[in-house]
Amino acid sequence: MRFSNTLEMTSYFDIFMFWEGWIYLLILSILEIVLGIDNILFISIITDDLEPKAQKKARNIGLSIALILRLALLSVVSLLMQLTDPIFTVFDTPLSAQSIILLFGGLFLIYKSVSEMHKSISHEHESESKKKKGLINIIGQIVIIDLVFSFDSIISAVGMTNGVGSETNADPIAIIVFAIVISMIIMIIFAKQISDFITNNPTIKMIALSFLVAVGILLISEAFGQHFPKGYIYFALAYALFVEMLNIRMRKNKLKNGSK
């Protein structure tokens, strides 16, 4: 993939002079939204302990940080692509800087998800004083997981647009930038609805937490060189949500019929 320097005459926006640029923008925007599902689920669940006013603030700050991180990482994408060089070996498996980021990110995601599961099962609730003091702490946790998800998102975006514009001598970096911005705007708009839906449906929250545990395991496996298609996990999440939506509808109809 070509990333032009300032000495090149080709404009970053020349890619949109060709139909393939718009097609890739649409596809990549959808991909970024899909890849952002785990991020927004994590943010929605982890901010549930905050006061209502602080929840919106934390969500907006968290997604804004994710946008900044994605754009910042994109500016040093050539460096990121070189982070695959092994640093040391663990159990005969070479680990690179990229692997270490994925490993600790996966462990952190599993820890937080399991902690939230335990809290939900045992019905533990934070005191009001802890809720007020926890905003900075929660934003810090969001930054950590944003870094991992942003890293994964940028690598996926770069891989998908590899070779785009080669025939037209146009640089595809503008496609990635616009796709990231579009996806983040959409996620910020619908963050509250997703958060409220998860909060009002405890079973949906448990499914979301289980999904995040699976994503954490996936990140750890990728750190050790075991790559599995993420589509399987996303399909499993969609299927589980579909079944649970049927259960929710069934329970509502049962209550409705019972009240008559």
Whether residue 212 lies inside any domain: the answer is: yes
**3 close to 102: Cβ distance less than 8 angstroms:** no
What pLDDT band is residue 10 in, cutting at 50, 70 and 90?
very low
CA 131 to each of CA 126, 137, 140: distance values in angstroms, whole numbers, following the listed order? 6, 10, 15
Whether residue 2 lies inside any domain: the answer is: no
Please tell me what DSSP assigns to residue 85.
S
Whether residue 89 lies inside any domain: the answer is: no
Whether residue 219 lies inside any domain: the answer is: yes
What pLDDT band is residue 4 in, cutting at 50, 70 and 90?
very low
**124 close to 242: Cβ distance less than 8 angstroms:** no
Please tell me what DSSP assigns to residue 14.
G
| Tens-digit pLDDT profile for residues 26-42 | 877 877 787 778 888 88
pTM: 0.69
Question: Residue 161, exposed/middle/buried by CB under 10 A (0-12, 13-18, 19+)?
Answer: buried
What angle do helix axes 52-75 and 128-160 make, rounded to 10 degrees?
30
Q: Count H helices, E strands: the chain?
A: 9, 2
pLDDT at residue number 154:
75
- How many domains does the structure of the chain reveal? 1
Whether residue 6 lies inside any domain: the answer is: no
Whether residue 65 lies inside any domain: the answer is: yes
pLDDT at residue number 15:
56
Q: Is the dihedral of CA 248, 250, 252, 258 positive or negative?
A: negative
Conformational region of residue 163, where left means phi above 0, alpha means psi within -120 to 50, and beta covers everything else: left
Find the domain containing 191 and state its range: 12-83+94-258
Token readout for 238 is 């969609």
| Tens-digit pLDDT profile for residues 92-107 | 777 887 788 788 888 9
